[in-house]
Structure 1
Amino acid sequence: MEAKIGLPKKDLTKSIDNLTLLLANEMLLYVKTRKFHWNISGNSFMELHKLFESHYDLLATTADEVAERISALGGKAIGSMQDFIKHGQIEENTDSSNTQKQMLDELMSNHETVMVQIRKSIDEVGEKTDDVVTEDFLTGILKMHEDISWQLRKYSN
């Protein structure tokens, strides 16, 4: 059923497309963060184990909120790993021998990729639609990724 929330279909489609990309990136980053949480070792094991856990909890909550926003706009959220890989920008990590530094650097880089994309989405939704709610929603998610990136950067130095 089409959402009748005062936005034309083209605006809804634009917002849903941007949110679908974000959902894919959030889920791919969630899986990677969870993997690193399971496989972290070294001198900062417990700190990073807990840090990664707090990050994947935030990512899981965010992914759920993004999927719900897609639904609120009348769309259908993607939900398979195949869909996430197809629509997302985050590469899987299949290496089981990553060091702490490699994990931190890769996660930081991935969060930066997501932040760049969110900024593009904010510009696109803000300039090409009247969907101020999605624009604001994206801004909040951008802040979360900035905070996570900052935390990772502090460990990576």
Structure 2
Amino acid sequence: MNTNTGISPQHLTEVAHSLSRILADEYLLYTKTRKAHWNIEGPDFYNMHKFFEVQYTALEEIIDQVAERIRKLGHFAPATLKQFLQLTHLSEEDREKNNSEGFIKILLADHESISVHLRENVNKFNGLLKDAGTGDYITGLLEKHETMAWMLRAHLQHA
């Protein structure tokens, strides 16, 4: 059955593809945050272990919401690691130590990269693709990433 949202089928396809790329970014960031949670070492282990848990839990919710947004638009969400790696603009490589500063720098860079990407797409969704619903959703998602980046950045501040 076709989705009748007042958005052309071509625009729905473009929006779904853009959201699929966002979903892939979110999934890769989720995985990297889980890695930090599992592998953190150092004197701040316990606090950072809990901190990363809060962050990956928030990302898990975001992943579900992005996938459901794709479904609301009548398309199927990508759901394999192969698809995510093909769609993401993030890198799964990292070369930092298993300490909080190393993990935080990597995760912060990814949150900032996603924020830039989301900001670049808000006007595209609202204007060109005539999908204010997705534009509004992406704006809210951008705010979540800005908050998570702020929390990470605060850990890098030295007294």
TM range (shorter): over 0.9
Who is 1:81 aligned against?
81
How many residue pairs end up in the alignment?
Answer: 157
Contact 2:33 2:52 in 1 (8 A): yes
Unaligned runs of 5+ in 2: none
User: Aligned to 1:110, what secondary structure does the other structure show?
Assistant: helix
Who is 1:25 aligned against?
25
Who is 2:15 aligned against?
15
What is the letter of the counterpart of residue 133 of structure 1? G
Contact 1:27 1:84 in 2 (8 A): yes
Matches within 5 A, 1:121-132: 121-132=121-132
Q: CA deviation at 1:97?
A: 4.0
Q: CA deviation at 1:43?
A: 2.1
Who is 1:99 aligned against?
99
Who is 1:63 aligned against?
63
Contact 2:97 2:103 in 1 (8 A): no
The Cα offsets for residues 21-56 of structure 1, whole Å up to 9 and x where unpaired, read as: 110000000000001100111122122111110111
Contact 1:22 1:88 in 2 (8 A): yes
Contact 1:32 1:93 in 2 (8 A): no
Q: Which runs of 4+ in 1 moved over 2 A?
A: 93-99
Contact 1:14 1:125 in 2 (8 A): no
The CA distance in 2 between the partners of 1:110 and 1:96, in whole Å, is 14
The Cα offsets for residues 55-92 of structure 1, whole Å up to 9 and x where unpaired, read as: 11111111111000101101110011111110001111
Who is 1:142 aligned against?
142
RMSD: 1.4
The alignment-based identity, stated in percent, is 35
TM-score by length of 2: 0.93
The Cα offsets for residues 106-157 of structure 1, whole Å up to 9 and x where unpaired, read as: 0000000100111111121122022111001111111110000000000012
Q: CA deviation at 1:2?
A: 2.3
